Amino acid sequence: MYAISLGDDGAELRPLEPWHAEEFLAHLERGREFINRYVPFGSQTTDAASARAALQRYADLRAADTAHVHGLWRDGRLLGGVLTLEFDAERGTCEVGCWLEPAGTGHGLVTRAMRVLIDWAVEERGIHRVEWVAASGNVPSLDVARRLGMTRDGVRREAHLHHGVRHDLEVWAVLAPEWRAARARAARPATARDLPGGNA
């Protein structure tokens, strides 16, 4: 089983599998209220059997190559995850998403993990357009889209009914050439041209 290091703080990205059911349930119980503020992720997962069933659904979607889910661990503790949705390699499109319990926030875990996930989607699977969809009120999620260099394409007004409230959904996206250009800029050393007042 592989694990991808996300830095020097013990953070790792790993596949989230059905055999993680009890750990997944404990994680959701710690963060359920926080996670469900804007999305119903994990709301039907209330015991070990439903946790295993939820993770088995993702395993089946992964086998069908239509979704992929990975957990985020730090110091051996599951704190959240990142995933692809509506993954369509033939059309070159997918949506990405995330979730975190409160203990996982404020450390850049999602941003770091999402860079790995998008790199994989673009470079290994040939995805051309990666979308990020989040409620307008979900500022931390929208901030991740910004940090990833995505562009806000538009708003689907009152498109998401959650807890009896209709939320606007913002659609952000990055195209493969934009992603590669941003990664190349981040990888090259800074020069005088990059400093404020530097020559253009």
What is the tens place of the pLDDT at every residue in 4-35?
999 888 899 999 999 999 999 999 999 999 99
Q: Is 1 inside a domain boundary?
A: no
- Across 101-122, average pLDDT: 94
3-state SS of 77-98 is: EEEEEEEEEEEECCCCEEEEEE
Q: Is 47 inside a domain boundary?
A: yes
pLDDT in tens, 61-73: 999 999 999 999 9
Task: Give the separation between CA 171 and CA 137, rounded to whole angstroms.
Answer: 13
pTM of this structure: 0.88
Q: Is 5 inside a domain boundary?
A: no
CATH code of the domain in which 44 resides:
3.40.630.30
- Domain tally, the chain: 1
- Across 76-92, average pLDDT: 95
Largest distance between two CA atoms of the chain:
62
Q: Is 200 inside a domain boundary?
A: no
The answer on pLDDT for 176 being more than 80 is: yes
Q: Is 81 inside a domain boundary?
A: yes
Quick one: angle between helices 21-35 and 48-63, nearest 10? 100
Give the domain extent around 136.
Answer: 10-188
Q: Is 98 inside a domain boundary?
A: yes
